Amino acid sequence: MSVRQTATAVRGRYQPRISLWWWLTKPSYLLFVLRELSSVFIAWFIVFLLLFVRAVYQGEGQYERFLDFAANPFVVFVNLVALAFVLLHTVTWFVLTPQALPLHLRGRRVPGGLIIASQYVGWLVVSAFVFWLVVGW
Amino acid sequence: MTTSHDIIVVGGGGAGLRAAIAAAETIPGIDVAVVSKVYPMRSHTVSAEGGAAGAIAEDDSLDEHAYDTISGGDWLCDQDAVEIFVKDAPKELLRLEHWGCPWSRQPDGRIAVRPFGGMKKQRTWFAADKTGFHLLHTLFQTSLKYDGVHRYDEWYVSKLLVDDGRVQGVVAVELTTGRIETITAKAVILTTGGCGRVFPFTTNAAIKTGDGMALAYRAGAPLKDMEFIQYHPTGLPFTGILITEAARAEGGYLLNKDGYRYLQDYNLGTPTPTPVLRSMELGPRDRLSQAFEHEVAKGRTIDTPYGPVVHLDLRHLGAKLIDTKLPFVRELCLKYQNIDPVTELVPVRPVVHYTMGGVHTDIDGATPVDGLFAAGEVACVSINGANRLGSNSLPELLVFGTRAGRAAAWHVFRHGKEPTQAVLSQAADERRRLQKDVLEHDGGDERISAIRTSMQTTMEESAGIYRSGDSLAKAADTLGELQERLPRAALDDRSLAFNTELIAALELSAMLDVAESIVASALRREESRGAHQRTDFPARDDNRFLAHSLAVREADGSCRVDYLPVTITRWAPGERVYGR
Amino acid sequence: MADTIAMEVARYQPGEDGAPTMARYDVPLRKDWVVLDGLNYIKDEIDGTVTFRWSCRMGICGSCGMTVNGEPKLTCATFLTDYAPGPVRVEPLANFPVIRDLVVDIDDFLDKLSEVKPWIVRDEAPLSAGEYLQTPEQLEEYRQYSMCINCMLCYSACPVYGLDPEFVGPAAIALAQRYNLDSRDEGAAERLDVLIHPEGLWACTFVGDCTRVCPKHVDPAGAIQRYKLTAALDTLKHYVLPRGGR
Amino acid sequence: MRRRRPVEPLVWLLFSGGGVVTAILVPVLLVLLGLAFPLGWIDPPPYEHIHAVLGHWIARIVLLGLCVLGFVHWAHRFRYTLHEGLKLQRLDAQISLLCYGLALIGSVWAVYILLFTG
Ligand SMILES: Cc1cc2nc3c(=O)[nH]c(=O)nc-3n(C[C@H](O)[C@H](O)[C@H](O)COP(=O)(O)OP(=O)(O)OC[C@H]3O[C@@H](n4cnc5c(N)ncnc54)[C@H](O)[C@@H]3O)c2cc1C
Ligand code: SF4
Ligand code: F3S
Ligand code: FES
């Protein structure tokens, strides 16, 4: 327990304020905000995905129309930007997994690098599988 | 304004926190205040690296620890105190273990011990090479659970209030606001640490300014064995950062400029590739530092802008051992000297490290002033005699911190009295003094830093590893002049909020008093023993000086030196033998 | 190499100044001088009123943290030459109230530290029973989190703490985790009760700067993430198995 | 005394689950559906094939998981981004309602499409 008279102690303190633009003040903060904004593009893609699924369920005509919609330059542009953010999301997410989830094998902590590497391997395998499933080759 | 507690602990280092916890546990409901000029976890105990001695190994015994301590102290230790110390040390270290200290372990989960300088057996407990850091943080964090322990963080104690023959409280400045407050108590425990900053080149942190020694000295308690100042043989030049003895215990060599293990020339044994206890690099600190001075005289050291150095060679230990056993050493060398000990030689030189002397206390930490206790480096019980063995100080502050805490609690319980009126007017005087004579003092023509520097160089030149009657007498005169110059110093800073210059002025005044007691005691001791080496009296003289010096402050401010016999129980004084 | 370097030092005098201002001093630029040596030179030789904290000068007491050119640093471990030709800007740690010049108020942290019970919680065994056994591997589990020197650089780097002073913050949570992961401790449930509220673990959005600036490699960001996972799984268990299970 | 258990930990768990699933699945799907097919890098698969794949119940469940977790992931992150990036701590209640509310609506929509159509 610390003995300090709050009344006198607080008087005269300079209380710094964080500016609204704090996330522009350091590269690491900016990266953080960009990483957080990736979620917006994830949400966008899920909506996009659901539209696609709905079109497929509604029949071939709708499917063709969806493909036309997707080929609209503006939509392509949005998806291009989205891809950049989604990749940022994937990379940062993989980096932090070993920090949050220390794995142990036979009493020893698995080195973080190994966890990250195996995530990438898993990612590639799943992506290849999805590719095969969707495209058919 | 006045507040009061049952006990005031001045100092929040290892000794202070241990004492506060002990007091809180001894008498339930007792009200303990820990007053410290820095946040407790910033205290200097945090810097201790190597470890803490306590005999637990199967091949070890309490008697052997006692013997190593007593012979290491050149028979100036009080043997009753040493016996208590070696008996309680393992228990205290174990208690720290129960409180969470991350001691390094053997593969089966038991405590690991390492060898240390001057110790015949492996008995030094360690938490990698941050032992003091872990010990202090464990104590601090544990202390947070005691409701009876109140902290005054960043309060500087400037005076002990003594009246009616007993201590009744302190006057302290709250740094953040500049408020000067009287805090009364039924007992006061001083745990303010050592006074290494009296010297220019030291491992000691900025806060180690001997405040508690000066407080006690001015309050009428004698300072014991102040002439014994320990030089640690391996400090980094310029910064004075310590390279722990553990570096040598793990097998490091000391080399002179020819790459020669020069310690073999000074009766410290013959070189072997792996370390041998109590031999060569594992000899005691005083002998190693003295050997360095002889090498300087022979011109076999390396010259640098920061004075002569020798080399500590760790390269043959390999990166793996260094990284597991000595990671902090490597970190310090890389961060502060730009040297990698895995591949390079580390320049080192002796550096002021520890004050064996201190406030005279009995084995319960009680000083001659009623109600005033002391423990830790500020106190002299004495278990360190003329030379402390590495890794004895951390257990000392636990063992005697506990004893002082308990004794103070019982003292309050049995003899606690309310403060007298006279003491309150004393406090008012002190407040006025701080306000008028220091803070608002005008027209001075002296700088605090200039006086401090003169004091430090004087001490190094005359009261260093080797001393002589002439140089000491001259130093006494110089210190007297500095005492006269001090009141002429004026502060740049007149602010109340966090006035570090005010604190620096008060610390300087404490250091000057302590420096005078060191010089006076050294001048009177006409022999060479342990860390006190007189060129004009090179031999030990048990007939005249098998005794503790007691520096007493006279009414006029001068220093009188008395002597007190050493308590000998089972170990008759003998020759100190190393390397055989 | 030039032989001096300019230092811009934040000055704030409570009661007089509305906000900190910068003062400029020239100090010698030496190879082995750290920022703290520069400040001490100013204090000893130029202006005795410049106010800052320091003690050990070896990176272990944790008192000399300041903002150097925008980054939280231990000034005793930051070389002036790294900033040559200058100027070096020295400001107090961000996110804390400034008491004066370079000195900030960290009492908030100390209060939070007490709240997370940073001590071994269990009925203490008698000393005669000897040490609690702990293998080097068990020690390794929490060792990293026990290295915190309370220097507050992480709090200064964490924008969440700056925005929401109620947030318990990186070092205090890392220290809670230090005890949770200690094989001798039994207090994890009590600490979780303190930290499971929104200002405890969940305010942290894993900015990660705390870990980046920590001079002792404590990795508070990792500690918090691990803790979140434990807390979440524990809560899941609590809902799925309301009675047994714990 | 134990405090009442907040739901925050469970939301966080869903958020994290969403983070993992989207990190793994979204890049490849986005490349295919959003870029490769529309831009003609790869010919879009014949309708029958894609209909068969998406009609399978396993695909429906996996996609449902991806969509629901993805929405929660967005809601949680976006809430904190507004909260901190724009210093809107005072509006936390409203922001939470908006974000989690939208995520809920999105999830219901996903359930409708994936389980009750086609
Ligand atoms: C670099 C280094 C390494 C060491 N390594 C070892 C080792 O390996 N093994 C070993 O056994 N020993 C070692 N020592 C010695 C040991 O660390 C110290 O002797 C011991 O820590 C002193 O502890 P203390 O509690 O007495 O004082 P400190 O820890 O110095 O605490 C003093 C306290 O008093 C307070 N204080 C002082 N003056 C005032 C005042 N006027 N008003 C209010 N508060 C005040 C301070 O704020 C502080 O809290 C080492 C020493 C150094 C310098
Ligand atoms: S976690 Fe690191 S940065 Fe934060 S207080 Fe501890 S040592 Fe300093
Ligand atoms: S910077 Fe702050 S937001 Fe979390 S990861 Fe570190 S505490
Ligand atoms: S002065 Fe102690 S950490 Fe820098």
Give the CA count within 13 Å in the CB-facing half-sphere of D66.
24
Strands B2-4 and B180-184: parallel
State the DSSP string of B355-390: ES-EEE--TTSB-SSBTEEE-GGGEE-SSSTTSPPT
Interface of A with C in 75-134 (CB under 8 A): 96, 99-102, 107-109
Strands B7-10 and B32-36: parallel
CA distance B235 to B333: 11
Q: Which amino acid appears at position D22 of this protein?
A: T
Looking at chain B, which residue has its C-alpha nearest residue C129? B94
The answer to whether position A78 is within a domain reads yes
Contact C158, C207 (CB under 8 A): yes
pLDDT tens string B12-54: 999 999 999 999 999 999 999 999 999 999 999 999 988 999 9
* Residue C60: count of CB within 10 angstroms of its CB: 30
Domains in chain C, please, with CATH?
A: 4-104 (3.10.20.30), 107-245 (1.10.1060.10)
Question: Above 70 in pLDDT, residue A9?
Answer: no
| Helix locations, B252-389, DSSP H | 285-297, 318-325, 327-332
Helix (H) or strand (E) holding B201: none
Its sign, for the CA torsion B390, B395, B400, B401, is positive
Q: Which of D10, D87, D89 sits opposite C232 (nearest CB)?
A: D10
Q: Which amino acid appears at position B227 of this protein?
A: E
Structural domain harbouring A91 = 3-101
Specify the range with the lowest mean pLDDT, choosing from B436-440, B488-492, C5-9: B436-440
Round the CA-based radius of gyration of chain C to a whole number and report it. Answer: 21
**Choosing among D81, D82, D88, D109, which should be mutated to test the A contact, i.e. which has the most A CBs within 10 A?**
D81
Chain D residues within 8 Å of chain C (Cβ atoms):
2-3, 5-6, 8-10, 12-13, 16, 77, 80, 84, 87, 89
Question: Above 90 in pLDDT, residue C181?
Answer: yes
* Number of compact structural domains in chain A: 1
Looking at chain D, which residue has its C-alpha nearest residue C165? D89
- In a 3-state reduction of DSSP, which class is residue B575? coil
pLDDT tens string D65-104: 999 999 999 999 999 998 887 777 788 889 999 999 999 9
User: Catalytic pick from B5, B114, B137, B232?
Assistant: B232
When pLDDT is cut at 50, 70 and 90, the band that residue C242 belongs to is low
Question: Above 70 in pLDDT, residue C173?
Answer: yes
Known catalytic residue at B232: yes
Helix (H) or strand (E) holding B183: strand B180-184
CA distance B246 to B362: 31
SS3 content of chain A, % helix, strand, coil (to 5): 75, 5, 20
How much is the average pLDDT of B304-324? 92
Specify the range with the lowest mean pLDDT, choosing from B118-122, B574-578, C64-68, D2-6: D2-6
CA of B103 vs chain C CAs: smallest distance (Å): 9
Pocket of ligand 2 contains residue C224 by CB under 6 Å: no
The answer to whether position A62 is within a domain reads yes
**Which positions ≥6 away from A109 have C-beta within 8 Å?**
A102, A103, C140
Closest atom of ligand 1 relative to the B215 alpha carbon: 41
Instruction: Give the pLDDT score at A137.
Output: 65
Question: Above 60 in pLDDT, residue B201?
Answer: yes
Looking at chain A, which residue has its C-alpha nearest residue C135? A107
Order of strands, sheet of B379-380, starting from the edge strand that comes earlier in the sequence: B379-380, B358-360, B223-224, B547-553, B559-565
Closest atom of ligand 4 relative to the C75 alpha carbon: 4
The answer to whether position A123 is within a domain reads no
- In a 3-state reduction of DSSP, which class is residue B111? strand
Closest atom of ligand 3 relative to the C173 alpha carbon: 7
The answer to whether position A37 is within a domain reads yes
Q: What residues of B are in contact with residue A4 (Cβ under 8 Å)?
A: 153, 176
Q: Give the residue from B426, B537, B445 showing the smallest Cα distance to B491.
A: B445
User: Catalytic pick from B248, B360, B524, B525?
Assistant: B248
Question: Above 60 in pLDDT, residue B238?
Answer: yes
Structure tokens at B457: 């160089």
Q: Is the peptide bond before C92 cis (omega within 30 degrees of 0)?
A: no
Return the higher-pLDDT residue of B384 and C235: B384
Known catalytic residue at B44: no
CA distance B171 to B10: 11
The answer to whether position A106 is within a domain reads no
CA distance C61 to A10: 25
* Residue C190: count of CB within 10 angstroms of its CB: 14
Question: Above 70 in pLDDT, residue A3?
Answer: no
Helix/strand/coil (H/E/C) assignment for every residue in chain C: CCCEEEEEEEECCCCCCCCCEEEEEEEECCCCCEHHHHHHHHHHHHCCCCCCCCCCCCCCCCCCEEEECCEEEEHHHCEHHHHCCCCEEEECCCCCCEEECCEECCHHHHHHHHHCCCCCCCCCCCHHHCCCCCCHHHHHHHHHHHHCCCCCHHHHHCHHHHHCCCCCCHHHHHHHHHHHCCCCCCCHHHHHHHHCCHHHHHCCCCCCHHHHHCCCCCCHHHHHHHHHHHHHHHHHHHHHCCCCCC
Is B497 touching A (CB cutoff 8 A)? yes
CA distance B350 to B386: 17
- In a 3-state reduction of DSSP, which class is residue B312? strand
Pocket of ligand 2 contains residue C171 by CB under 6 Å: yes
How much is the average pLDDT of C143-163? 96
CA of C243 vs chain B CAs: smallest distance (Å): 31
Instruction: Give the pLDDT score at B447.
Output: 87
CA of B207 relative to ligand 1 center, distance in Å: 9
How much is the average pLDDT of B213-238? 96
pLDDT tens string D23-32: 999 999 999 9
Return the higher-pLDDT residue of A109 and A107: A109
CA distance B423 to B412: 18
CA distance C202 to D59: 33
The answer to whether position A110 is within a domain reads no
Q: What residues of C are in contact with residue B98 (Cβ under 8 Å)?
A: 120, 124-125, 127, 131-132, 184
pLDDT tens string B415-451: 989 999 999 999 999 999 988 877 887 777 888 999 9
Pocket of ligand 1 contains residue B52 by CB under 6 Å: yes
Q: Give the residue from B51, A31, A42, B580 showing the smallest Cα distance to D103.
A: A42
When pLDDT is cut at 50, 70 and 90, the band that residue A8 belongs to is very low
Question: Above 70 in pLDDT, residue C246?
Answer: no
The answer to whether position A114 is within a domain reads no
CATH of the domain at A81: 1.20.1300.10
Q: Is the peptide bond before B382 cis (omega within 30 degrees of 0)?
A: yes
Instruction: Give the pLDDT score at B336.
Output: 81
Closest atom of ligand 3 relative to the C161 alpha carbon: 2
In this predicted complex, what is the ipTM?
0.93
Cβ pair D12:C228 closer than 8 A: yes
How much is the average pLDDT of B474-497? 92
Question: Above 70 in pLDDT, residue C1?
Answer: no
Average per-residue pLDDT in chain B? 94
How much is the average pLDDT of B230-237? 93
B124 alpha carbon, closest ligand = 1
Cα→Cα distances B463→B303, B476, B523, B533, B563, Å: 22, 10, 9, 9, 20
Largest CA distance in chain B: 69
Instruction: Give the pLDDT score at C238.
Output: 81
CA distance B503 to C52: 12
Question: Above 70 in pLDDT, residue A11?
Answer: no
Question: Above 90 in pLDDT, residue C218?
Answer: yes
How much is the average pLDDT of B362-380? 97
| Helix locations, B159-235, DSSP H | 211-218
Instruction: Give the pLDDT score at B244.
Output: 87
How much is the average pLDDT of B140-152? 96
Contact B376, B265 (CB under 8 A): no
Which residue matches tokens 């009428």? B220
Is A14 touching C (CB cutoff 8 A)? yes
Residue of C95, C145, C210, C225 with the most ligand 3 atoms within 8 Å of its CB, for mutation: C210
Cα→Cα distances B309→A83, B286, B288, B331, Å: 61, 17, 13, 20
Cβ pair B46:C60 closer than 8 A: yes
- In a 3-state reduction of DSSP, which class is residue A58? helix
Beta bridge mates, C72: C67
pLDDT tens string C183-199: 999 999 999 988 988 88
Question: Above 50 in pLDDT, residue D1?
Answer: no
Domains in chain D, please, with CATH?
A: 11-116 (1.20.1300.10)
Q: Give the residue from B185, B177, B189 showing the smallest Cα distance to B216.
A: B189
Beta bridge mates, C65: C74
The answer to whether position A20 is within a domain reads yes
CA of D35 vs chain C CAs: smallest distance (Å): 31
CA distance A89 to A41: 10
Specify the range with the lowest mean pLDDT, choosing from A12-26, B87-101, C5-19: A12-26
Its sign, for the CA torsion B88, B90, B96, B99, is negative
How much is the average pLDDT of A51-57? 94
